[in-house]
Structure 1
Amino acid sequence: MTLDSANQLKKVWQRWQWILWMIVIAIIYIWAIGGIKFSGLQDSAGSVSKSILSGLVSPEWSYVYDGSGEDLISLIFQTLAIAFLGTFISAIISVPFAFWAARSIKERFFLRSGSGKVVLTLIRTFPEIVLAIMFIKAVGPGSYAGVLAVSIHSIGMLGKLFSEAIENMDRGAEEAINSVGGNAAQVFMLATLPIITPEFVSYTLYRFEIAVRSAAILGMVGAGGIGTPMIFAIQTRNWPRVGIILLGIIIMVLVIDTISEQMRKRLV
């Protein structure tokens, strides 16, 4: 094969390769859809949908606050507390894991960082809801199980993000301090720590946003928070209460996302 023919084949491939990818994607979609068994809609689907819609349109406003500690506002604060405490604990524990998993320029075979990455992968393999069920069996139902589930899963996520921040940081300040005879402690305190701290805080805030959503769901398996009364309301078909709980979750998530976004913009 001559050089000209090879270049022509390369140009043809670059021009028409998108067709091959479209065919591959189509085959994957057909295979995935073919594995789904569509059982159709039940006869009661229409009436149930109307009941759910009417409950969402006319929520139970009296549930917002009644002073019992089991009202919407009290349980939303409990959900926020679970997310905050779980994220705070995981952010502290994730730091040594991050330095363990971060690749160093001087490291030749990446045995240390590779083992750290494997550990972080194993930690975040278990979904939070599975961890919550496991901790409920260990410590009983309630907020404590929710905090443990959020914190353990967040260690795997934050550890990965922190380690990538360490690997991609600008090494110029470290080299400057080393060039004037600074020791390892001075390099860490004067160069490494000031550079990575804003990114660590930014990732922690982002993880807190996700933890708020997770904490709202974990209550459905008994791990405390707003999810517990929501699953009870769904089981008893109390759609007005489901409506006010969903409205409260939406407002909570929007407020947290807005505040966190503004804080992250100032940090990074």
Structure 2
Amino acid sequence: MQTTISKKPATLTLWRRWNWLLWIAIVAVIYTWAITGLHFTGLQESAASVSRSIVHGLVQPDWPYVYNGSGEDLVSLILQTLAIAFLGTIISSLISVPFAFWAARGGKEWLHVRSGSGKVVLTLIRTFPEIVLAIMFIKAVGPGSYAGVLAVSIHSIGMLGKLFSEAIENMDRGADEAITSAGGNSAQIFMLATLPTIMPEFISYTLYRFEIAVRSASILGMVGAGGIGTPMIFAIQTRNWPRVGIILLGIVLMVLLIDTLSEQLRKRLI
């Protein structure tokens, strides 16, 4: 009995051995194209003095601005920023649920068309950055917190809808099959199996989105959408660096606190 051992072509072996050189060349071309596309203008003559003023303001912040009872102080505006992020996240989390079931891919082939259209809609919603949405809503409803809530809500629908749909697609179907085999109907399957399975992930994603919304709400005020961003842009324009320093310190502490609490809650849920 004669055994024939087929040898792989030499060209295929060489390709597998040296194909990493091709990827290095591609990455090098992309980096070269990106760097040559930038135009570095250098530093201005006043860069050193401005930098010293910024550092001095950050080191010696405007402590009386923390709270003065006027409603325009740091504490009041941080609470307003949290309210914008919280309300926008809650609204978007509720609206995202039907979008998630629309975009989630099911087992049947015809459902892929339905889920594909849902994914396209969610992608279109995510296309518009929050700051662009804020500018659009400011023109529609006027400047203030209302425009900020609308901007955070609309953008969060696209993000949460995508995350929720992926959670539905990757959920464990064992409980669904058990209730189906016991003669349960669609409503019982949803209430007793699907909803308890996906709810922890939904809440976890909502908390994570709230963290991002807090950061976004801090920036939206720069275009007039309420929150702590409005006095910060005014302080930067007037070069009131002590005021900028205390606002940045407040934002950092707010984000750290929200991140810590959200992380602890997510650990308990999952």
Q: Do these two structures clear the TM 0.5 threshold for a shared fold by scoring above it?
A: yes
Hey, what does 1:40 align to over in structure 2? Answer: 42
Hey, what does 1:186 align to over in structure 2? Answer: 188
Hey, what does 1:82 align to over in structure 2? Answer: 84
Hey, what does 2:206 align to over in structure 1? Answer: 204
Separation of aligned partners in 2, 1:117 and 1:70: 41
1:11 Cα shift? 4.1
Separation of aligned partners in 1, 2:214 and 2:221: 12
1:38 Cα shift? 1.0
Separation of aligned partners in 2, 1:242 and 1:136: 24
Hey, what does 1:260 align to over in structure 2? Answer: 262
Counterpart secondary structure, 2:7: helix
Separation of aligned partners in 1, 2:13 and 2:220: 53
Hey, what does 1:68 align to over in structure 2? Answer: 70
| One of 150, 159, 162 as aligned partner of 1:160 | 162
1:26 Cα shift? 1.1
1:14 Cα shift? 3.3
Greater displacement, 30-39 / 210-219: 30-39
Structure 2 alignment gaps of length 5 or more: none
1:32-67 residue CA offsets vs partner (Å, 9 max, x unmatched): 110111111111111111111111111111111101
Hey, what does 2:7 align to over in structure 1? Answer: 4
1:3 Cα shift? 4.8
Structure 1 alignment gaps of length 5 or more: none
Separation of aligned partners in 2, 1:37 and 1:170: 51
| One of 169, 172, 175 as aligned partner of 2:174 | 172
Paired positions, count: 266
1:12 Cα shift? 3.4
Hey, what does 2:217 align to over in structure 1? Answer: 215
**Percent identity between the two aligned chains:** 78
1:4 Cα shift? 1.8
After TM superposition, list the pairs within 5 Å mapping 1:140-155 onto structure 2. 140-155=142-157
1:109 Cα shift? 5.9
Counterpart secondary structure, 2:225: coil
1:102-126 residue CA offsets vs partner (Å, 9 max, x unmatched): 0110233611111111110111100
Greater displacement, 9-18 / 79-88: 9-18
Hey, what does 2:60 align to over in structure 1? Answer: 58
Separation of aligned partners in 1, 2:40 and 2:262: 41
Hey, what does 2:107 align to over in structure 1? Answer: 105
| One of 129, 132, 135 as aligned partner of 2:134 | 132
Separation of aligned partners in 2, 1:14 and 1:109: 39
Separation of aligned partners in 2, 1:199 and 1:16: 43
Instruction: Normalising by structure 2, report the TM-score.
Output: 0.96
Separation of aligned partners in 1, 2:13 and 2:240: 63
Instruction: Normalising by structure 1, report the TM-score.
Output: 0.97
Superposition RMSD in Å: 1.3
Letter in 1 for 2:173: R
Separation of aligned partners in 2, 1:161 and 1:33: 34
